[in-house]
Structure 1
Amino acid sequence: MPKIAFLACPITLPTSPTRRSDAFEHDLLLAALKAGLAGRADLIDLDWRAPLEELAGFDLAYLGTPWDYTDAKDEFLERLEAIAAAGVIVCNPVEVIRWNSDKLYLRELERRGASSIPTLWPESAGPSDVLAAFDHFGADRVVVKRRVGAGAIGQDSFSRTAPPPADWRIEQPAMIQPFLPAIQSEGEHSFIFVDGRFSHALIKQASHGDYRIQSLYGGIERAVEPAAADLAAAQGIMAMLPFAQPPLYARIDMVRLDGGALAVIEAELIEPYLYPEQGEKFGQMLADAMLAALAKHN
């Protein structure tokens, strides 16, 4: 029976004393995939930093919840390359992970025709960059993110009336965007794809007074049947990905612009939470896609 590794990290593994408060998402995703694979493959969750000889004993490695990779991107990519060199199928492939690990990929999607959010790309960000961004965008509020980051960790939002303090900085490559009110009024749209096929969609909404939609900050989500135009927008982003084959899994996050169209926030191809509780058939779809990848490889 094939062995599949569900790669995780200390802040998500159930036995860890440093487990994060939103690591229940690890449990839900693992359970959905185990149900889909039942009787067909063994699925084991373990740290992506486990000894290479242990990881090399698996047939396929799925990037489940390695949520701490953003603080060790180069180490993470090197480990994935070593796992792949040992003959293990890595999903998504290392070239996809490398491309997706720096949010500069959004510029490439924009060049390919994606409806995008206007963005500045400072190599580091300080108060002067934020103040300049207000005028550049003609906006009263902006959001500053790390280019290598996830889960809104290290993210800040400032307004003209509440600018950053003098000692504020992001000492790494950053991105600055105008704040879009639809994030709070409607929420963020997420479209889940498995092997290029649409699985399910949802809207994620922030808790009252916040704009961050992740469960770590009290965000909630609900399943939706997307409008045809909205689904087509997400499928369009999938078609723009610069790979010969669609990734095994993808989550396309989008927000509505003032004109009514959806713009891409992120194409999540590394370790996104895929919301199995909103997708009744998702676990089965992902399990089938993994087993198909193994059959093709063999």
Structure 2
Amino acid sequence: MAYITNPLVRHSAERDPEALSRHGKDPNAAIVLLAGDLPVLKAGEPGTGLLPASVLNRLPAYQEQVFLGFLQDKPVIATLVAPEAAELFHDDPDFVVENLRAIAVRDLVPAQELGTLAMAKSLLDWHARHRFCANCGAPTKHAQAGFRRDCAACGAQHFPRTDPVVIMLVTRGDKCLLGRQSRFAEKMYSCLAGFLEPGETIEDAVRREVFEEAGVRVGKVRYLASQPWPFPSSIMIGCAGEAETDDIVIDDTELEDARWFTRDDIRRMLDGVHDEFAAPSPIAIAHHLLREWMGS
């Protein structure tokens, strides 16, 4: 799975509030640079998303910085610049500007860097979307090295958010339930998923989402694994559920299609040889939920 490994000694809102001001100008710092929501990479085989601090000299300005933590005693600083700044790198063969999903699919950086890039993207996106206080509407200010925003008008403190999403492989005997949305790649079917609602357990969210989207009742639910999903900032909570009913009633506002698949279908989908259907990409937790069910 992509984005699950992050070797940083992470900073947090409870740690050193002056860390960014102290390390932000360190010439030995590593910079994770995003132009809008697109990471800027050093080209290579593989490349890297940890750029030298000198890259900041190419920029006329930046919008936000966050101190992410340390990597082998080297400070790591996430830096947000305007989307149009990507043009400064497009014609330079030493750099690559690409979206984070494609970076993972194409192995453009080492796997252990993907979690750091995901962390940077989620935090910088949160800053970009939370310039004003949700309590009183006044402008907020960067605090705690980027792990908090403070409102001077009402005193409210705002912390980065992560949205929990349940994603579940529902099975009944030797078949499993998958669905597809119109935005999916051609032929691809995946596990059903949905946001956890306030006051709801993970298990009940699984049951509710499956019934709402496909009309199937689910009984026993168990947790399997999780995955950060920085689009913009979710945590995918992977579960297995046991269906109690067979009939599918599709909510066509959520799904284009849903159907039961046999183990033979799933084996061929995972191997990429099915004539009609395709499995989710290996970067996604849905792919690994299917492999777990298949015992591989």
Per the normalisation by structure 1, the TM-score is 0.24
Higher helix share: 1
Higher gyration radius (CA): 2
Which protein has the bigger strand share?
Answer: 2
Q: Which has the higher contact order (CA 8 A, sep 6+)?
A: 1
